[in-house]
A and B are shown apart, each in its own frame.
Chain A
Amino acid sequence: MYQYNKHDQQSIEQRAAQFRGQVERFKTGDIDEDEFRALRLRNGLYYQIHAHMLRIAIPYGVVNANQMRMFGHICRTYDKGYGHFTTRQNLQINWPELEDVPSILEELATVQVHAIQTSGNCIRNITSDHLAGIATDEIEDPRPYCEILRHWSTFHPEFNWLPRKFKFAVTGAIEDRAAVQWHDIGLRLVKNDDGEVGFQVLVGGGMGRTPVIGKVICEFLEKRYIKSYVESILRVYNLHGRRDNKYKARIKILVNAMGIDTFRQEVEAEWELLKQDPSLWLEQEEIDAMKAQFEHPDESPKVSSSIEGIAVKDNNYDLWLSRNVEQTHVLDGYCATFISLKAQGEAPGDATSEQMEAIADIAEKFSRSEIRVTHEQNLVLPYVKTSELYALWMELNKHELATPNIGTLNDMICCPGLDFCSLANATTIPLAAAINERFNDLDELHNIGNIKLKMSGCMNACGHHHAGHIGILGVDKKGKEWYQITLGGSAENDSALGKRLGPAVKKEELVGALDTILNVYLEKRQQDESFQESVNRLGIEPFKEQVYASH
Chain B
Amino acid sequence: MQVIKERIVIDYDLPESAIKIEPDTDLKEQLATLSEAPALIFDFSNYEEGRPYSQTRQLRTRFGFTGDIVALGARKDNVAMIERCGANIISAHEKYSADDLLPFFEEITDYYQPNY
Contact = CB atoms under 8 A, between A and B. Distances in A.
Interface of A: 7, 10-11, 14-15, 17-18, 21-22, 25, 30-31, 34-35, 38-39, 121, 151-152, 154-163, 235, 238-239, 243, 270, 273-274, 277, 279-280
Given A34-B47, A270-B62, A158 B57 contact: yes
Interface stretch (B11-19, B29-37, B74-82): B74-82
A157 B47 contact: no
Interface in B52-74: 53-55, 57-58, 61-62
A18 B107 contact: yes
Interface in B78-116: 78, 80-81, 84-85, 107-116
Contact of B53 (A121, A163, A238, A277): A238
A158 B85 contact: yes
A155 B112 CA distance: 8
Nearest to B77: A39
Interface in B2-55: 47-51, 53-55
B88 to A, nearest CB: 15
By secondary structure, the A interface counts as: helix
B112 A151 contact: yes
Contacts of B113: 152, 155-157
A39 B85 CA distance: 19
B48 A277 contact: no
A35 B75 contact: yes
23 contacts: A18-B108, A22-B77, A25-B76, A31-B75, A31-B76, A39-B77, A152-B113, A155-B111, A155-B113, A156-B113, A156-B116, A157-B85, A158-B85, A158-B116, A160-B53, A160-B81, A161-B47, A161-B48, A238-B54, A239-B58, A270-B62, A273-B62, A279-B115
A279 B61 CA distance: 13
A161 B111 CA distance: 17
B67 to A, nearest CB: 19
Interface centre among B54, B81, B84 (most CB of A within 10 A): B54
Interface residues of B, number: 30
B66 to A, nearest CB: 16
Contacts of B115: 277, 279-280
A280 B57 CA distance: 15
Given A35-B75, A158-B116, A239 B51 contact: yes
Contacts of A31: 75-77
Given A21-B107, A270-B62, A157 B54 contact: no
A22 B75 CA distance: 12
Contacts of A243: 49, 51
B65 to A, nearest CB: 14
Contacts of B111: 11, 155, 157
Contacts of A121: 48, 50
Contacts of B47: 34-35, 38, 161
Given A158-B85, A279-B114, A238 B51 contact: yes
A239 B108 contact: no
Contacts of B51: 238-239, 243
A274 B111 CA distance: 19
A18 to B, nearest CB: 5
A162 B54 CA distance: 10
Nearest to A13: B108
Nearest to A7: B110
B56 to A, nearest CB: 9
Interface centre among A15, A18, A22, A158 (most CB of B within 10 A): A158
Contact of B110 (A10, A17, A18, A21): A10
Nearest to A163: B50
A234 to B, nearest CB: 9
B64 to A, nearest CB: 10
> What 5 A-B pairs come out closest when comparing CB atoms?
A161-B50, A157-B84, A157-B81, A279-B115, A151-B112
A273 B58 CA distance: 10
B77 A273 contact: no
A399 B48 CA distance: 46
Contact of B49 (A154, A156, A161, A280): A161
Given A18-B108, A162-B50, A239-B58, 5 more contacts: A17-B107, A35-B75, A157-B84, A274-B61, A280-B115
A158 B110 contact: no
A12 B107 CA distance: 11
A333 B95 CA distance: 65
B97 to A, nearest CB: 13
Nearest to A32: B95
A159 B52 CA distance: 11
Contacts of B107: 14, 17-18, 21
A341 to B, nearest CB: 32
A431 B51 CA distance: 43
A97 B85 CA distance: 35
Contacts of B50: 121, 158-163, 238
B7 to A, nearest CB: 16
Contacts of A277: 61, 115
A39 B78 CA distance: 10
B85 A14 contact: no
Contacts of A157: 53, 80-81, 84-85, 111, 113, 116
Contacts of B109: 10, 14
Contacts of A235: 54, 57-58
B112 A161 contact: no
B108 A155 contact: yes
B62 to A, nearest CB: 5
A342 B21 CA distance: 53
Contacts of A161: 47-50, 53
Contacts of A22: 77
Nearest to B116: A157
